[in-house]
């Protein structure tokens, strides 16, 4: 039972044929020793060719991410050529024409159904950093009935109800499972076709996309009338060099991307948004934690306080939105003629962030390109909306992105407009895509599954609700003493959690 609602039966895994009411010994015999003809029939029904799998890489158009996706595509096609003469389709989501919301997957399901609904058996989704052993994946998928509705993945669940999932299943959030995209996840073609019909009959509403993996699972589940996720142990997020990887069809390294070009501390300007009423409550936390990592930074407030110090931008404080303040920060950053700083990061006064890890990540990007980076949300993407970087986790801009933005006529419609959403709308109009990194977090560590965080080296968290923020910073974001790397620390913590 799920919050008083019964689950639909999972029908994608094999079950034994119906057994009539006969003597107990006969039932036992038929249960434990299925006929050889039945085994052969099941094997024949599930036999799978590489060409029957459509691979969809959840790619991004930025040059760094596009190259990563192309590397994975090349790996898949190389492995496929060793297994079969028929190569599988390998799609990069960002290349789907006319679909700004393709990254949310559901809007392009009807297109997948039309193109692959007759000649394919599975659609397999993965991230650009997912490692795939194609032969093992083929054998894994053959365990499931491709003629039935199947939704496969590595299962995550919430320990407690959380704001990022709108407090879904508050009575017992552990009962609802959703896929960890890093491990890859699969839909059988019959399920794809069924979802396409649902989407055509009742188009998606123009609302928010906050945590895609949870929202997709909810849509497929259809309030108990659809398909729940089937956990598949071969879909993994262990490191490729881990002993546990021997049984895995997919793997995913615990990662903070290292591209060999650590950005200098003085090349990252940090802007902290605050207000007078929160100076004493929140600024001491920043100073005890990550301020020491920042080389160039300023606090922006509605009151000039020399003890912090803060800068009054002449924008009155508002209870929400802060668009006026954010655009004033962008103007100040860009028009400071003495500053040649290539990167700007804007954070709230209750954001916890690792500047040193951010500098490592930024080494993967070209500051001469317009870069708008952070945790990606979406608004109305099924009906021509836009993506945006949610502000609490931190918004990162290359100076070129700021130049293009301020050179346009796009501005706040009011001082208390939601700054992150206005920025998303502006950049969308300029044709500059949001770059997503799962290492930025709009919420607290307790709002995410431990298993999900175990394969990350996080860059930021947000909010001080019911936590000790200083403790959270030193547990999750500070460079661990006596460790050779962040990776080593995260791997050790993952082992302890599991």
Instruction: Considering only residues 25 and 80, tell me which one the structure prediction assigns the higher pLDDT.
Output: 80
Look at 167-176, 379-388, 470-479 and tell me which has the smallest mean pLDDT. 379-388
In sequence order, the 6+-apart residues with CB closer than 8 A to the CB of 341 are 266, 267, 268, 269, 296, 333, 399
Q: For a pLDDT cut of 70, what percent of the chain falls above it?
A: 86
- The whole-number pLDDT of residue 25 equals 36
Average pLDDT rounded to a whole number, residues 233-249 = 94
Average pLDDT over the chain, rounded to an integer: 88
At residue 490, the pLDDT reads 42
Task: For residue 205, name the pLDDT band (cuts at 50, 70, 90).
Answer: confident
Among 187, 157, 189, residue whose Cα is nearest residue 173: 157
Average pLDDT of the residues in 141-161: 97
What is the arithmetic mean of pLDDT over 127-156? Answer: 97
Tokens of 260: 């060999």
**Tokens 């950053």, residue located:** 333
Q: How confident is the model at residue 496 (pLDDT cuts 50, 70, 90)?
A: very low
What does the pLDDT average to over 124-145? 97
> Residue written as tokens 């659609």?
123
Per-residue pLDDT for 14 more than 60? no
The rounded distance, in Å, linking the Cα atoms of 490 and 498 is 12
Per residue in 292-305, pLDDT (tens digit) is 999 999 999 999 99
pLDDT greater than 60 at residue 34: no
The rounded distance, in Å, linking the Cα atoms of 289 and 286 is: 5
Helix, strand, coil % over all residues of the chain, rounded to 5? 40, 15, 40
363's CB contacts (< 8 A; 6+ apart) are 258, 259, 260, 261, 262, 263
Scan for tokens 């649902």, then name that residue: 198
Q: How far apart are CA 23 and CA 250, in angstroms?
A: 44
- 489 pLDDT band, cuts 50/70/90, is very low
Most confident region among 2-11, 205-214, 260-269, 459-468 by mean pLDDT: 459-468
Report residue 312 as tokens: 């009054």
Q: Tell me the mean pLDDT in the region 148-168.
A: 96
pLDDT, average across residues 351-371? 97
The confidence score (pLDDT) of residue 416 equals 93
Interval 245-274 mean pLDDT: 92
Higher pLDDT, 66 or 14: 66
What is residue 368's DSSP assignment?
A: T
Query: According to the model, what pLDDT value does residue 427 have?
Result: 98
| 143 burial level (CB within 10 Å; 0-12, 13-18, 19+) | middle
Q: Which residue has the higher pLDDT, 23 or 409?
A: 409
Angstrom distance (rounded) from CA 403 to CA 399 = 6
Q: Which residues pair with 91 in a beta bridge?
A: 56
Residue 9 has pLDDT above 70, yes or no: no
Residue 188 has pLDDT above 70, yes or no: yes
How does residue 30 score in pLDDT terms, banded at 50, 70 and 90?
Answer: very low
Residue 31 vs residues 9, 28, 34: alpha-carbon distances, Å: 20, 5, 6
What pLDDT, on a 0 to 100 scale, did the predictor assign at position 338? 54
Residue 452 has pLDDT above 90, yes or no: yes
Region 282-293 average pLDDT: 97
The pLDDT assigned to 46 comes to 78
pLDDT for 488 beyond 50: no
What was the pLDDT predicted at 491? 42
- Mean pLDDT is lowest, of 9-13, 343-347, 358-362, 410-414, for 9-13
Residue 382 has pLDDT above 90, yes or no: no
Cβ neighbours around 347 below 10 Å, total: 26
| 82 token code pair | 């060793």
The reported pLDDT for the residue numbered 43 is: 57
In percent, the amount of the chain with pLDDT more than 90 equals 78
| Predicted confidence (pLDDT) per residue in 87-130, tens digit | 999 999 999 876 778 999 999 999 999 999 999 999 999 999 99
**pLDDT above 90 (res 221):** yes
């Amino acid at each position: 039972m799920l919050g008083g609602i019964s689950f639909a039966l999972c029908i994608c895994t094999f079950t034994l044929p119906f057994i009539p009411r006969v003597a107990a010994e006969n039932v036992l015999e038929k249960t434990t020793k299925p006929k050889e003809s039945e085994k052969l029939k099941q094997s024949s029904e599930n036999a799978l060719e590489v060409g029957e799998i459509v691979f969809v890489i959840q790619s991004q158009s930025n040059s760094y991410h596009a190259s990563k996706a192309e590397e994975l595509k090349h790996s898949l096609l190389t492995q496929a050529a060793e297994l079969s003469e028929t190569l599988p389709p390998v799609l990069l989501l960002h290349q789907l024409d006319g679909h700004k919301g393709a990254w949310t997957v559901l809007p392009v399901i009807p297109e997948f159904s039309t193109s692959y609904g007759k000649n394919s058996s599975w659609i397999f989704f993965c991230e650009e950093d997912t490692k795939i052993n194609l032969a093992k994946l083929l054998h894994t998928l053959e365990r499931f009935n491709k003629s039935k509705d199947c939704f496969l993945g590595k299962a995550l669940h919430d320990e407690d109800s959380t704001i990022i999932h709108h407090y879904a299943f508050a009575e017992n959030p552990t009962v609802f499972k959703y896929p960890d995209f890093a491990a890859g996840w699969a839909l059988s073609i019959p399920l794809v076709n069924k979802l396409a019909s649902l989407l055509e009959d009742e188009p998606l509403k123009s609302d928010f996309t906050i945590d895609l993996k949870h929202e997709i699972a909810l849509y497929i589940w259809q309030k108990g009338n659809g398909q729940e996720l089937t956990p598949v142990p071969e879909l993994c997020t262990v490191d490729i060099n881990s002993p546990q990887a021997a049984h895995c069809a997919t793997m995913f390294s615990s990662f903070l991307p290292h591209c060999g070009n650590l950005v200098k501390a003085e090349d990252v300007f940090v802007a902290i948004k605050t207000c007078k009423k929160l100076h004493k409550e929140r600024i001491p936390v920043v100073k005890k934690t990550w301020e020491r990592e920042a080389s160039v930074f300023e606090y922006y407030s509605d009151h000039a306080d020399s003890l912090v110090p803060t800068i009054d931008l002449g924008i009155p404080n508002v209870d929400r939105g802060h668009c006026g303040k954010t655009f004033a920060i962008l103007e100040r950053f860009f028009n400071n003629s003495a500053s040649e700083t290539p990167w700007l990061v804007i954070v709230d006064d209750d954001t916890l962030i690792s500047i040193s890890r951010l500098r490592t990540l930024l080494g993967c990007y070209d500051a001469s390109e317009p870069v708008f980076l952070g945790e990606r949300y979406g608004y109305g993407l099924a009906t021509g909306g836009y993506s945006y970087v949610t502000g609490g986790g931190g918004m990162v801009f290359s100076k070129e992105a700021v130049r293009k933005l301020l050179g346009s006529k796009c501005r706040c419609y009011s001082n208390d407009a939601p700054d992150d959403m206005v920025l998303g709308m502006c950049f969308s109009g300029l044709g500059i895509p949001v770059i997503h990194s799962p290492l930025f977090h709009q919420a607290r560590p307790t709002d995410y599954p431990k298993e999900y965080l175990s394969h990350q080296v996080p860059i930021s968290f947000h909010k001080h609700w019911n936590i000790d923020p200083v403790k959270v910073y030193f547990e999750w974001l500070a460079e661990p003493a006596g460790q050779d790397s962040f990776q080593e620390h995260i791997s050790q913590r993952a082992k302890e959690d599991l």
